[in-house]
Amino acid sequence: MTQNLLTTQYPRSVVELDGTTYFLMRAADGRKRLAILGDARGFEGQEAAADRGFPVLCPLTPSNAVALRERLPWLRPQPLGLRRTAGCGDRLGLATPGHVRAVRHFDLVPVFAQQSVRENTRAGRTPQGVLDDAMWGVFQEGWRDPWGADADHLKTTADIDSFVTLGYSFYTVDPGAYVDNEAHSAPLGALERKWDALPWAGLADAPEAMRARYLGQHLNAEMVHLEFEPTSLMRAACKYGGAIHHVAYMYRHLDARMGSQPYEFEVSIDETETPTSPLEHWFLASELKRLGVRWVSLAPRYIGRFEKGTDYIGDLRTFEAEFAQHAAIARALGPYKLSLHSGSDKFSIYPLAARQAGPLVHLKTAGTSYLEALRAIAAVDPAFFREILAFARPHYETDRATYHVSAELARVPGPEDLTDANLATVLDQFDGREVLHVTFGSVLDRFGPRLKDVLARNEEAYYAALEAHFIKHLTPFAGNLR
């Protein structure tokens, strides 16, 4: 090992603690390494000896991530409470430094590690890798304040088990498969049959007891006044009863696995076919409380369309009026935060949500950071961006199957229709943006190593794109730039 391998130091990463100095380096081979001057016991893969005047260099392995978290406790994610929060999903494992640079401007708390089981599968990543990549980004940028790690959209106890031993602080359970969307508009006879078939024993309940709790009751949340009648109660119970049972089951499993380790819980019913009315929100939250579930945030299925990577589709006045009712219920039955899932690029509703929920809001973004990676590639390697666009277009119809999107491929320009100067405009067009968003898994299968290499060699361009994009996201929630 010679000194010329130590080509780049990340100055914000430098930490001196208990006589040992830690920092991040980029070596001449392009790979990042942890550099240690002092006590390097417990770190694997050491490449130089400190007694020769050089730092010990260690690869960014899971073992070394664990060892560094033990030394530097602010690198461990933690519960964030009812403070205003924003989740920064990262499908490539390279975005956290850009996220940090944006969040630094605002008074809010970030969730830097956030990825669903579905996204991990498509991106070829693991819960361990998502957490560690975020942590190395936090270290690189010298972030010392609290941050969270979200095990997102968990659907089974096996999903939970893959995260609990790693130090995740936030668990989002998705019971969407147990929501009965037919109950939203089923005729009375079908509704009565569904009512009789509810998992009453699993809900620790009985039909007459549920009727007694809700019928004839005047329910008040600030200026919101709600009342169930027999049919609306049956609809709410039939639509969400199975989901409530599943959430309680998942919560008890998670609570038992976590033991004394602190964590936070989120309930997500956003990926369903029919909106959650304020009356259904009240029912859902009341029943979860009755069953002993405690949560920090809840994501209803809001009215309108929350498609991936694009702005809100729907009437803004109607959205704000109903969101205000959801916020009042969250304050009255909690307080807990309202979570905006598929929240990337919903610029038209951010001021409305901030006005009605105040600090009790959690914004969740994911694919928008991948799209900004493509924007950076369009600037630094136009030929490669053309390849990605040409590859993504024929894969859209297959890849869209598990997403609520409405882009039409015919409206997406081909690479031959764009000059180098306007390549990135496809990312500002509704259809092009959605096509590139939902095909990320196929693109990474085909181009993953090459794409990450281009971004690693041009990381400042990527960080700058991310910082600008996330400042635009966060300003409506957290006010003026610092």
**Active site residue: 150, 266, 271, 467, which one?**
266
β-strands 6-17, 20-27 pairing: antiparallel
Residue 175 has φ and ψ, to the nearest 5°, of -95, 25
Q: Sign of the C-alpha dihedral, residues 182, 291, 266, 476?
A: positive
Indicate the DSSP class of residue 413. P
- Using alpha carbons, select from 54, 77, 206, 188 the residue that is nearest to residue 132: 77
DSSP for 97-137 reads HHHHHHHTTSSSEEEEEEEEHHHHHHHT--HHHHHHHHHHH
Annotated active-site residue 222? The verdict is no
Question: Are the CB atoms for 271 and 341 separated by under 8 Å?
Answer: yes
Residue 266 among the catalytic residues: yes
- CA 437, 440, 442, 446 torsion: positive or negative? positive
Give the contacts of 373 (CB within 8 A, at least 6 positions apart): 92, 94, 95, 451, 455, 462, 465
Q: Which of 141, 152, 271, 280 is catalytic?
A: 152
Task: Calculate the alpha carbon distances from 220 to 330, 332, 367, 389, 450 in Å.
Answer: 12, 8, 38, 52, 56
Instruction: Give the span between the Cα atoms of 359 and 350, in whole angstroms.
Output: 12
By C-alpha distance, which of 136, 146, 142 is closest to 79? Answer: 146
Is there a contact between 271 and 364 (Cβ–Cβ < 8 Å)? no
Q: In this structure, are residues 155 and 117 in contact, taking their beta carbons and an 8 Å threshold?
A: yes
Q: Report, as residue numbers or ranges, the catalytic residues.
A: 152, 266
